Every structure is written in structure tokens, then in C-alpha cells.
Structure 1
Amino acid sequence: MSAGDDPDEPRRAGPRRGHSGRSSWGSPARSDDSGFSSSDDGSSDAGGSSGAGGSSSTRRFSGGGGSSSDDGSSADSGFPADGGSPGGGGSPFGRGRGAASRNEPPRSESEVAREICLRQLAVRPRTRAELAKVLIRKEISEEVIAEVLDRYDEVGIIDDAAFARAWVSSRHHGRGLARRALANELRQRGVDAEVADEALEVVDEEAEADAARALVDRKLRTARGAPDAVFRRLVAMLARKGYPAGIAIRAVKDALAARDAEAAEFADAIDPDALADEATGI
């Protein structure tokens, strides 16, 4: 029996060479104060295992104390910096705010509906119909919808008449939209026809003619091509913005007449009334 097999022979103290960080008594590699091994994250030095000295791992230090890994966890506490548990399992004391929310009493349907409405109104003004549509999609009962929206009507949080006036002013002056296009947009947003008509009173025929001419003048600065092609494109542009055929044709004719001699000659041959009647099918 060799000396190494003699049970009476005292064993050598200290770790055996060739074992990766484990002592002769089978205990785990030395850990830091947090309880996590310095190689728990699987990282090592750039060269991996050293040739003769066994394996070595790179310790990372955050600030002045514990090691930290790439996932943002701190070895001082054993929890990620964002408050979760190691490995994403959640805090042992509950999942942050989720634990607190479980202790809160459930909110009433009215409270939920009011919160939804206020979030919508924070983005832009809304009509009553728009808010009702959102609440229906969120499965709020009809009774609660009526209750919440009636209250908002009373205190002026929602006001379809004010919404319509602001919408018309913004879209007419900002986008150059005519009455027909504006009326269609208000209808899509659930504004009552009578309320919409009152808001559209500020956009009369004279205002439409001025806005149409301003749009044409702006487009003519960069327009290229023969006068007849430019004429067709500009009339079509005004039609898409809701202008009647007569106003659109006159605006383009007058703008072309002031552009250059060639365009003026083409404009002189245009009969706005005849073209407008043809466009409307009269």
C-alpha cells in the first residue's frame, strides 16, 4: 500500500493543484461577502484558464465594495440594481409596486372611466362621441359612460361647440381646408350637425376664395410643366381640400394669368363657369 493510501498518514493541507478552485475538502471556491462566487456570472479573464496555475476568474468591483455582473446585479445585496430578485425571479417581499397594488381596494368602474377620459384629453381635446367610443372599447358600461360624460359636460371638461370652433379655425387656417372637408371631419368626430354648422359660419364663400388663392400661389412657386398640366394638378389639389369646382377653377385661372405670358394666354381661354358646370354634372 502506498503512503498515499495509508489512512494514518496525515493529509496534506491546502488545495490540490489541477482542481478548478476547489479545495481538497470539497468545499466550494471562495466566495465574496454577498454569497455569490466570483465566477457566478460565468466570466473569466481574457485568457481563460491559466496554463500552470489552474483557472482564474476576473472580479469586477462597483464603486468600492461588492462585485457586479453585466446584468446590473450587485453582490452586496444579491439583488439587481432595479429592485428585482437575482435571475429575474422578483423580490422576496412581493413584486415592487404590484405587492402594494394588491393591498389597495379595487377601483370603481366610474373611477376607471374618469381616468381613461383624462388620459385621452391630455393628448388633445375630444368630443363626447370620441370619449364614448374609447370607453365602449374598454368595456365600460353604458350607465357609467353616460354618468361620467354628463358630469364632464356640466363642468365644461368636454364641450363639443368649443371643440368644433377650435377645429375649424385650426384646420382652415393651418391646412387650408374648405367648408365641405371641415364638415366631414367634424361629422367623423361625432359633432352634431347643428353644432358643426354654427362653427362653419366663419368660413364663408369669400374666406374660401381667399384661402384657395393663397394655396395656389404657394404651390405655383415650385410648379413645373405646361400650363394645362399645372392647371389640372392645382384644381385637383383644391378639390381634395373640399373647395367647390367654381372657386377652385377661378383661383387657378387668376393665379396662372399673373404668372407669365404663356400661362396668361392659357388662362384667357378658360371658362370657369362652363368647367364648373361640367365638373358638377349640370
Structure 2
Amino acid sequence: MTRETGGEQSLAPVIPLFGGGAVSRTDDAPGEDRGEACAELSAGGWHSTWVDDDDLFGDDDDLDRDDPFGETRASSAVISAALDRLIKRLRRRGLSEAEATDELVADGVEKTVAQVLVAEFVGKRWLGDADLAEQLVHTAVTRRREGRRAIAQVLSKRRIPREIADAALAALPDDDSERALEFARQKAGGYRGVPVDVAIRRLVGQLQRRGYPPGVAMSAARLALADPHDEAR
């Protein structure tokens, strides 16, 4: 976002749209005030129309002299509209910092400006890669019963930085075998009447697609299909 001033290019001003300092984050209590931040976001804790153009750009005379085509004011309108859309998206689902930056860029905000604005959101705890990684891992383990490899792929797809993804995975208990067996037992009833070797092969395939290693998948499939407490078989 540049403009010509006396033959030289200068960056249009980046406006601190939120006010106040960023909320500090402590390593020993990650995500402790995430709920409050989400509540603030859902309640509409910030809105672009709260910023007065006169406060941002000064007198109209100065605007006309320094920015005769109104480029700065137009850029501010683009940023405000893009931020409003981003807030609506964040109310529906979490975004990584890279995803949020891309959303702003797609809505017409220059990348360097988008990165500054996303940093403001991170300071407000309205988004953050560590919080999102924790949420994705929790969902993968408790709802989808996925293995470590599949979880790592999800974090990579959502563009969580490697060091944050590794930290989230390191916090996982070493219970792939237990989760694989739990998932296999849930699916075992669907193989009633299917030859055992066919059922094992298919169930192993399901487990591997969930991110479990071949050995873990095979062991879980055999145990689940041989489980005498499985009422469905």
C-alpha cells in the first residue's frame, strides 16, 4: 500500500485499530483466557466503524494536499471491511495465523499490513496457532480417535508452524494402541457375517487411514474382531 509524495514512494500509515496493549501470553498457562477472548469476539468486542476517519487522517485539507486521490481513506475502508469479514469467519471456526493472513490478503489487504493486523488479533487472543493446535489435537483424539500421524497431517494442513505442532504432539499421551483398539471395537460390529480375513483387512485399512501404524492397526483389528464381548458378532 504505497503512495507518491514528491516523487518518492512511502508506505500508507498502518493504523492501530484496536487500541491498548497486547495481552501477554505465558508459556506455563497456554490458552487460559481463550474462553474470555472468544466471548469478547462473539459479543462484537471490536468493530471497524468505531474508528473515526478524522482521528485517523486529520483535517480534510491535509488529506487533499497529501493524498489528493483519497487513496489512504480508500485503503482504510478496504482494511475495515476485510477485518469485519475476518471476525465473522472467526466466530464460525478457528483459523491459524497463516490462514487469517491469507483471508485478509484475499480481501484486498496487502500482506505486510495483514500480518500486522493478525498480530493485533493474536494480542487480543482472538486467534493463535498454539490455541488452535491444542483444539485440533483435542478434537482428533476425543472425537475422531485419530492416530499421531493423522493428527500431524491435520496440523500441517492448517499451516501450524512446525515447532508449535511438535509441541502439541509431544503433549499427547503415548496411547495410540488404546485409541486404535477403541476405534476398532466401534467398527467391528459392521463386519458381522464377513469372513474374518476380509474383515481384518478392511478394518486395518480403516485404522491406517486414521493415522495408525500398520503394526498397531493389525493388532487392534485382530483384538476387536476376536473380542468375545462384542455383541454384534
Provide TM-score, normalisation by structure 1: 0.52
Q: What percent identity do the matched residue pairs reach?
A: 27
Instruction: Work out which of the residue numbers 216, 219, 230 in structure 2 matches 1:250.
Output: 219
Aligned ranges for residues 68-83 of structure 1 at < 5 Å? Answer: none
Name 1:113's counterpart in structure 2: 82
State the shift of 1:177 in Å. 1.1
Matches of 1:223 and 1:203, distance apart in 2: 31
Equivalent pair of 1:239/1:245 in contact (CA under 8 Å): yes
Shift of 1:255: 2.0
Structure 1 Cα separation of the partners of residues 164 and 112 of structure 2:
25
Q: Distance in 1 between matches of 2:173 and 2:198?
A: 29
Q: 1:191 aligns with which of 149, 160, 163?
A: 160
**Which of 145, 150, 159 is matched with 2:128 structurally?**
159
Work out the CA distance in 2 between the residues paired with 1:194 and 1:147: 21
Higher RCO (CA-CA < 8 Å; seq separation 6+): 2
In 2, distance between residues paired with 1:132 and 1:179?
28
Structure 1's unaligned 5+ residue stretches are 1-104, 261-282
Corresponding residue for 2:99?
130
Paired residues for 1:29-178 under 5 Å: 108-178=77-147
- 1:223 paired residue number: 191
Question: How many matched pairs?
Answer: 155
Q: Is the 1:178–1:203 contact (alpha carbons within 8 Å) kept by the matching residues of 2?
A: no
C-alpha RMSD over aligned residues: 1.8
Aligned to 2:176: 208
TM-superposition CA deviations, 1:49-68 (whole Å, max 9, x none): xxxxxxxxxxxxxxxxxxxx
Residue 119 of structure 1 aligns to a residue whose secondary structure is helix
Task: Confirm or deny: 8 A CA contact 1:183 1:196 kept in the other structure.
Answer: yes
Residue by residue over 1:62-94, the C-alpha shift from the partner in whole angstroms, topping out at 9 and shown as x without a partner, is xxxxxxxxxxxxxxxxxxxxxxxxxxxxxxxxx
Q: Could you list the runs of 5+ residues in structure 2 that have no partner in the other structure?
A: 1-72
Deviation digits for residues 141-172 of structure 1 (CA, Å, limit 9, x no counterpart): 12320221111122211111011001100121
Tell me the TM-score normalized by structure 2.
0.62
Is the contact made by 2:82 and 2:108 (CA closer than 8 Å) also made in structure 1? no
More helix by share: 2
* Cα deviation, residue 199, structure 1: 1.1
- Structure-2 separation of matches of 1:212 and 1:203: 14
- Find the aligned partners of 1:258 and 1:122 in 2 and give their Cα distance: 44
Aligned equivalents of 2:172 and 2:212: distance in 1?
Answer: 11
